[in-house]
Amino acid sequence: MIVTSRITGKVYDSDKVLYINFQPQWSFYFSQGCESEFLDLIYDSGKNHKYPICMVFKRSARMKELYEMWQAQRPQQESSHE
């Protein structure tokens, strides 16, 4: 389904994007400069009470790279909080 974001005004196919509602993950992506991949912000507390804000990103090589970076650094972050 083609969607036009009420937040950004960007148009995207809702079946061909990434939906990320885990705040530490999308915060990491923004800290790495993913602004050009950002499409939309969705708020829905009905589906996920713990993480009601969902960021929508393009499916792209850059987001795949960021995901791999996220996975590589994630165990270090988790072990530092124990």
Q: What is the pLDDT of residues 34-79, one digit of tens each?
A: 999 999 999 987 777 788 999 999 999 999 999 999 999 876 555 4
pLDDT at residue 81 in the model? 41
Query: What distance in Å separates the CA atoms of residue 12 and residue 33, rounded to the nearest whole number?
Result: 20
Contact between 39 and 10 (Cβ < 8 Å): yes
- Global pTM reads 0.83
Q: CA distances (Å), 64 to each of 28, 59, 61, 79, in order?
A: 13, 8, 5, 24
pLDDT at residue 79 in the model? 43
**CA of residue 70 relative to chain centroid, distance:** 11
Query: What distance in Å separates the CA atoms of residue 64 and residue 48, rounded to the nearest whole number?
Result: 24
* Between 46 and 1, the higher pLDDT residue: 1
